[in-house]
Amino acid sequence: MAQPIEKNQKQPQPGTTFEKKMMWLTIISFFVILLTIGIGTILRDDRVSSQLENRTLAQSVQPTMQGVASGEDMLKMESYFGDQLLLRGTLVEMQARLSKNLFQQPFRNGIYTAKNGYMIEPSQAAQPVIPSAFQQFTKDVDRPVYFALAPSKTVIAERDGIIPDYVASNAEQRYKTMQAGFMKAGITSIPLDALKLTDYFKTDHHWNIDGAYQAYDEIIRTVGKTEPTLKKVAMDPQAKRSSEHPYFGSLARKTTLAYASAGDKIEYYDANQFNGIDVCYDNVCGQPLIDEQFIKEEGDYADRYEVFMRGNHGILSMSSKTKGPKLLVLKDSFANPVLPFLANSANLEVVDIRYVNKDFDASEFAKQKNVDAIVFLHNANIAGLMKTYQQKL
């Protein structure tokens, strides 16, 4: 990087009117930039959360003698000022563009953007161990237990050879280990291996509506063998809707729009395809199954995936007056677009293990709700959940 020109070195006519003007311009520009951002940050209303970072932002600090003396309040203030900084999002995007265009970095925050626009998060980790609690759970509930384990996008990208050779990633190997582990625990596997990359969003880690429908189809086919009343309900193709705004998902948020060349189109079926289904969560029934406010929301990084039941809930029930069986679905966010289809065919008790109380007992819950069968519905990237399942099954 160039050092500034020193006094004793030759310069073009130092001290000329033009150079003096440039000096003043430098000083004024410096102050204008610093003061605009500094004062702008102080004057504007504090933001509670960031769409880009999908998190709450640090809020202003009421200093206390103890906090100031320990230095804690100062650190909080620094964090608050950084979070609320004017143009924060723009500057983050700018840095990402620098990384992509000047530094030619194909990866950003661990995410690779393939030539076809698909964003993939390669991952190399130890082989997963399936907790003994799964085997115990199948015995305790004394009902058929199924596992629909969707391959993650990384698994499919590995199969398709999209990830560069020099990047270590063993997602497929871990996926197979996990499938074998669940089968060994006495759980029937619902095969979802036929899913393709096009069944997933380019900029998000979830599957799209076609992937979700395919999963629904497989669940009906497999569970239907022991539950004959479980019937597939076909959707009206004319009722398929899509967002006007592009959808930039979780992977785009991590890389910013600099890397996400084009947004996804998020699709869903009109609520009239799910008439008669009562959705209850947070002790309130009649909750929307499809909430289009997330589709219409402004902002590049609006979480449009929450169109399905407004996102994740600890415990949720979907009763459809159908003659189908009653299923307990233990799931993560991958299940959200599948549940409306499934609710057309069965009554559902749905548990997202990440958001229930710490003393929740899944086998007790299954018995209490008198379900006919249990379906685990997850993507392969659930190694982090195993400890929770060990405690709550």
- Name 218's bridge partners: none
> Could you give the CA distance from residue 241 to residue 267 in angstroms, rounded to a whole number?
6
By CB under 8 A, residue 139 contacts another protein: no
Report 259-318 residues binding another protein (CB under 8 A).
312
Q: Which is nearer to another protein, 164 or 276 (CB)?
A: 164
Nearer to another protein by Cβ, of 123 and 312: the residue is 312
For another protein, the closer CB: 253 or 345 = 253
Tell me the per-residue interface mask from 244 to 263 with another protein, x by CB under 8 A, - otherwise.
------x--xx---------
Stretch that binds another protein, among 86-94, 170-178, 319-327, 335-343 (CB under 8 A): 86-94
Ramachandran sector of residue 136 (left: φ over 0; alpha: ψ -120 to 50; beta: rest): alpha
As a whole number of angstroms, the longest Cα–Cα distance in the chain is 92
Range 200-219, binding another protein (CB under 8 A): 205
CA distance 285 to 357: 20
Q: How far is the CB of 16 from another protein (least distance, A)?
A: 9
Cα distances (Å, whole numbers) of residue 110 to 94, 202, 256: 18, 16, 13
As beta bridge partners, residue 150 has 379
Return the closest-CA partner of residue 116 out of 153, 170, 166.
Answer: 153
Site membership for another protein, residue 8 (CB under 8 A): no
Residues comprising the chain, all counted: 393
- Using CB under 8 A, which of 63, 106, 276, 299 touches another protein? 106
Residue 303: count of CB within 10 angstroms of its CB: 18
Closer CB to another protein, 5 or 125, in the complex? 5
14-22, 215-223, 315-323, 360-368 -> range binding another protein (CB under 8 A): 14-22
Q: Which of 344, 346, 314, 345 is nearest to 331 (CA)?
A: 314
- Size of residue set near another protein by CB under 8 A: 74
Binders of another protein in range 143-172 (CB under 8 A): 164-168
